[in-house]
Amino acid sequence: MERLAKRVQDLVVYKLVLETAMEIFEITKSFPSEEKYSLTDQIRRSSRSVCTNLAEGWRKRKYKAVFVNKLLDAAQEAAETQTWLEFSDRCNYFAFVVFEELYERYEHIFAMLKTWKRNLENSVNVQRPSVANVLRPTVNRGRYND
Protein backbone atom coordinates (compact mmCIF):
# COMPACT_ATOMS: atom_id res chain seq x y z
CA MET A 1 0.00 0.00 0.00
CA GLU A 2 1.30 3.43 -0.91
CA ARG A 3 1.99 5.85 1.88
CA LEU A 4 0.13 9.15 1.57
CA ALA A 5 1.98 12.43 1.95
CA LYS A 6 1.15 14.04 5.28
CA ARG A 7 2.94 17.29 4.58
CA VAL A 8 4.26 19.17 1.59
CA GLN A 9 7.83 18.22 2.51
CA ASP A 10 6.97 14.57 1.79
CA LEU A 11 6.31 15.29 -1.89
CA VAL A 12 8.93 14.35 -4.47
CA VAL A 13 8.36 17.55 -6.43
CA TYR A 14 8.76 19.71 -3.32
CA LYS A 15 12.03 17.99 -2.39
CA LEU A 16 13.37 18.57 -5.90
CA VAL A 17 12.32 22.22 -5.92
CA LEU A 18 13.80 22.90 -2.48
CA GLU A 19 17.07 21.17 -3.38
CA THR A 20 17.30 23.19 -6.60
CA ALA A 21 16.57 26.49 -4.84
CA MET A 22 19.29 25.75 -2.30
CA GLU A 23 21.74 24.90 -5.08
CA ILE A 24 20.94 28.21 -6.77
CA PHE A 25 21.50 30.00 -3.47
CA GLU A 26 24.96 28.44 -3.15
CA ILE A 27 25.88 29.19 -6.77
CA THR A 28 24.78 32.83 -6.53
CA LYS A 29 27.10 33.44 -3.59
CA SER A 30 29.87 33.76 -6.17
CA PHE A 31 28.01 36.27 -8.36
CA PRO A 32 29.54 39.76 -8.61
CA SER A 33 28.56 42.23 -5.90
CA GLU A 34 27.02 44.59 -8.48
CA GLU A 35 24.39 41.89 -9.10
CA LYS A 36 23.39 41.68 -5.42
CA TYR A 37 20.17 43.68 -5.77
CA SER A 38 19.28 42.60 -9.27
CA LEU A 39 20.12 39.22 -10.76
CA THR A 40 21.20 37.53 -7.52
CA ASP A 41 18.15 38.71 -5.61
CA GLN A 42 15.72 37.91 -8.42
CA ILE A 43 16.92 34.38 -9.13
CA ARG A 44 16.92 33.56 -5.42
CA ARG A 45 13.41 34.95 -4.97
CA SER A 46 11.89 33.17 -7.94
CA SER A 47 13.49 29.80 -7.12
CA ARG A 48 12.23 30.07 -3.54
CA SER A 49 8.78 31.13 -4.72
CA VAL A 50 8.33 27.79 -6.46
CA CYS A 51 8.60 26.16 -3.01
CA THR A 52 6.38 28.67 -1.26
CA ASN A 53 3.65 28.37 -3.87
CA LEU A 54 3.67 24.59 -3.49
CA ALA A 55 3.47 24.95 0.29
CA GLU A 56 0.63 27.47 0.08
CA GLY A 57 -1.25 25.30 -2.38
CA TRP A 58 -0.77 22.25 -0.19
CA ARG A 59 -2.36 24.04 2.77
CA LYS A 60 -5.31 25.04 0.57
CA ARG A 61 -5.67 21.71 -1.23
CA LYS A 62 -9.20 21.30 0.09
CA TYR A 63 -10.17 23.91 -2.51
CA LYS A 64 -9.23 22.37 -5.84
CA ALA A 65 -9.36 25.61 -7.85
CA VAL A 66 -7.06 27.37 -5.38
CA PHE A 67 -4.70 24.40 -5.33
CA VAL A 68 -4.52 24.29 -9.13
CA ASN A 69 -3.93 28.06 -9.21
CA LYS A 70 -1.00 27.69 -6.80
CA LEU A 71 0.48 24.97 -9.00
CA LEU A 72 0.24 27.39 -11.94
CA ASP A 73 1.92 30.10 -9.83
CA ALA A 74 4.71 27.66 -8.96
CA ALA A 75 5.19 26.89 -12.67
CA GLN A 76 5.33 30.61 -13.49
CA GLU A 77 8.01 31.15 -10.86
CA ALA A 78 9.95 28.20 -12.28
CA ALA A 79 9.79 29.85 -15.72
CA GLU A 80 11.06 33.11 -14.23
CA THR A 81 13.92 31.23 -12.60
CA GLN A 82 14.83 29.72 -15.97
CA THR A 83 14.98 33.20 -17.46
CA TRP A 84 17.32 34.39 -14.69
CA LEU A 85 19.43 31.29 -15.29
CA GLU A 86 19.73 32.34 -18.92
CA PHE A 87 20.91 35.82 -17.91
CA SER A 88 23.42 34.27 -15.51
CA ASP A 89 24.72 32.00 -18.24
CA ARG A 90 25.05 34.84 -20.75
CA CYS A 91 27.00 36.83 -18.16
CA ASN A 92 29.27 33.79 -17.68
CA TYR A 93 28.61 33.66 -13.93
CA PHE A 94 28.82 29.86 -13.93
CA ALA A 95 29.81 27.00 -16.21
CA PHE A 96 27.48 26.14 -19.08
CA VAL A 97 27.09 22.57 -17.79
CA VAL A 98 25.68 24.02 -14.55
CA PHE A 99 23.22 26.11 -16.56
CA GLU A 100 22.14 23.11 -18.64
CA GLU A 101 21.65 20.91 -15.58
CA LEU A 102 19.58 23.49 -13.69
CA TYR A 103 17.57 24.46 -16.76
CA GLU A 104 16.72 20.82 -17.47
CA ARG A 105 15.82 20.24 -13.84
CA TYR A 106 13.25 23.03 -14.11
CA GLU A 107 11.90 21.40 -17.28
CA HIS A 108 11.40 18.24 -15.21
CA ILE A 109 9.70 20.29 -12.49
CA PHE A 110 7.37 21.79 -15.14
CA ALA A 111 6.44 18.31 -16.31
CA MET A 112 5.68 17.19 -12.76
CA LEU A 113 3.56 20.26 -12.03
CA LYS A 114 1.70 19.99 -15.34
CA THR A 115 0.88 16.32 -14.78
CA TRP A 116 -0.23 16.98 -11.22
CA LYS A 117 -2.43 19.88 -12.35
CA ARG A 118 -4.01 17.76 -15.09
CA ASN A 119 -4.69 14.93 -12.64
CA LEU A 120 -6.23 17.36 -10.16
CA GLU A 121 -8.47 18.89 -12.80
CA ASN A 122 -9.71 15.42 -13.74
CA SER A 123 -10.35 14.36 -10.14
CA VAL A 124 -13.57 14.77 -8.19
CA ASN A 125 -11.88 15.97 -5.01
CA VAL A 126 -8.38 16.50 -3.67
CA GLN A 127 -6.75 14.30 -1.07
CA ARG A 128 -3.16 13.75 -0.07
CA PRO A 129 -1.10 12.32 -2.91
CA SER A 130 1.07 9.28 -2.47
CA VAL A 131 4.63 9.97 -1.42
CA ALA A 132 5.81 7.48 -4.01
CA ASN A 133 4.07 9.21 -6.88
CA VAL A 134 3.07 12.84 -6.49
CA LEU A 135 1.82 12.78 -10.05
CA ARG A 136 -1.16 10.56 -9.23
CA PRO A 137 -3.13 12.33 -6.50
CA THR A 138 -5.79 10.11 -5.05
CA VAL A 139 -9.49 10.91 -5.17
CA ASN A 140 -11.43 11.19 -1.95
CA ARG A 141 -15.14 10.83 -2.60
CA GLY A 142 -15.98 11.10 1.07
CA ARG A 143 -15.16 13.55 3.84
CA TYR A 144 -11.99 15.61 3.43
CA ASN A 145 -9.29 14.59 5.87
CA ASP A 146 -6.55 17.06 6.74
d(CA 132, CA 144): 21
Burial class (CB in 10 A: 0-12, 13-18, 19+), 115: middle
Mean pLDDT across 14-24: 97
Q: What is the band of 120 on the pLDDT scale with cuts at 50, 70, 90?
A: confident
Looking at CATH, the fold of the domain delimited by 8-122 is given as: de novo design (two linked rop proteins) (1.20.1440)
- Label residue 43 exposed, middle or buried (CB < 10 Å: 0-12, 13-18, 19+): buried
Domain ranges of the chain: 8-122
Q: What whole-number percentage of the chain has pLDDT above 90?
A: 75
pLDDT digits (tens, 9 = 90+) for 54-84: 999 999 999 999 999 999 999 999 999 999 9
**Global pTM?**
0.81
Q: Which helix (H) or strand (E) holds 111?
A: helix 96-122
- What end-to-end distance do the CA atoms of the chain give, in Å? 19
